[in-house]
Amino acid sequence: MRKLSFKRYRHNAEVIRPTVWLYFRFSLSLRDVDEILAERGVEVSHEAIRPWVHKFGLQIARNLKRLRPAPSPRWHLDEMVSRIGDRHMYFWRAVDDEGEVLGNTVAKRRHASTPTSFIEKLLREQPVSPTAIVTDGLKSYVSAVDALGPTELYRPGRLRENNRVENSHLSIRQRERRMQGFKSQISAQRFLPTHTAVYNTFNMQRHLASRPAMKLFRAAAHHAWRRGMSGEVPLLSHPPELS
C-alpha cells in the first residue's frame, strides 16, 4: 500500500485527512468544507483545499480499493446522461448485487465501443469472474458482450431488475447538483474513482443492520480510511461478537 507524504504542507495530516474525507464523503462544496473547518478553528482557504483533494484523492482511492473484499459475481451495468460543459455525455457505472461499485467511466457517446472497453476493463481488474451481467435494453451492450464472449452470462433485464445500479446513480446526481455540474470530462473522470472508493467504504446499508452492528461497521470503515490515508495503520483486532 502506497504511503502518502504530507511534507512541505503548512497543515499536518490531522487537518488534511478529515478535510479530504468531508469533501468526498458528503455532498459538500470546497467552500462548505472551508466553513466547517473555520468553525473548528482551522483557517484554510477553499483554494488551498482544492489541490489537497486533487493530489490525495486518487492515491487514497487506490489504497482503499486494495482493502476491499472481493465483490459479488452478479454485475449490473447502466449509463446515465449528464451535461458536462456545453454537451451531453454519459456516465457508465457497474455495481454488484450488494451495491458495491465496480467501476465508472465517462464517454461522449453510447456506441458499442464504450461498453466493450468498459466491460473488458471490469473483467481485467476485478478479482472474481461474473456469473451474470444484467443491463437495460440498450443494444450497445449486446454488441459488447458478443465481442467479448460471455454471451451465456448476459441478462438484458427490465428496469426493475436493474434497480441496484439505477439507485447507485443517485449519489453522483447529488454531487453533480451540489457542484453545479462537472466542468469537463477530465474533471469528472478524476473525481469519480475517489468518490467511488469512499462510497464503497462507508456504504453500510444501515436499514439492514442492528445498531450494535452499525457501530462495528462504522469503526471498520473509519479504520480503513485511516489506513488508506497513511498506508501504515495496523489492522484492526477481531471485533467483538454482537450480542
Q: Which sequence spans correspond to the domains of the chain?
A: 1-67+204-237, 74-192
CB-CB neighbours of 3 under 10 Å: 10
The mean pLDDT value for 2-25 works out to 87
Q: What does pLDDT average to over the chain? A: 86
> What are the residues whose beta carbons fall under 8 Å from the beta carbon of 58, sequence distance 6 or more?
190, 193, 194
Quick check: 150 pLDDT over 90?
Answer: no
Please give the Cα distance from 22 to 32 (Å, whole number).
9
Mark residue 180 as left, alpha or beta (left: phi above 0; alpha: psi -120 to 50; beta: remaining): left
Q: Which three cell numbers stand for residue 16?
A: 488534511
Type of residue at 105 = T
Quick check: 238 pLDDT over 50?
Answer: no
**Predicted local confidence at residue 236, as pLDDT:** 44
Quick check: 233 pLDDT over 70?
Answer: no
Quick check: 2 pLDDT over 80?
Answer: no
Q: Given pLDDT bands bounded at 50, 70 and 90, which one contains residue 232? A: low
pTM metric for this prediction: 0.84
Q: Given pLDDT bands bounded at 50, 70 and 90, which one contains residue 106? A: very high
Strand extents, DSSP E, 151-234: 154-156
- 81 DSSP β-pair partners: 90
Q: Under CATH, which number does the domain 74-192 receive? A: 3.30.420.10
Kindly list the distances between the CA atom of residue 2 and the CA atoms of 5, 14, 62, 235, in Å, as whole numbers in the listed order. Answer: 10, 18, 8, 16
Q: Which helix (H) or strand (E) holds 75?
A: strand 74-84
**Predicted local confidence at residue 23, as pLDDT:** 94
Picking from 44-53, 120-129, 149-158, 190-199, which range would have the lowest pLDDT averaged per residue?
149-158
Q: Given pLDDT bands bounded at 50, 70 and 90, which one contains residue 158? A: low
Rg (Cα) of the chain, in Å, rounded? 19
Higher local confidence (pLDDT), 139 or 205: 139
C-alpha distance across the termini of the chain, in Å: 34
Type of residue at 117 = S
- Contact of 64 with 198, CB cutoff 8 Å: yes
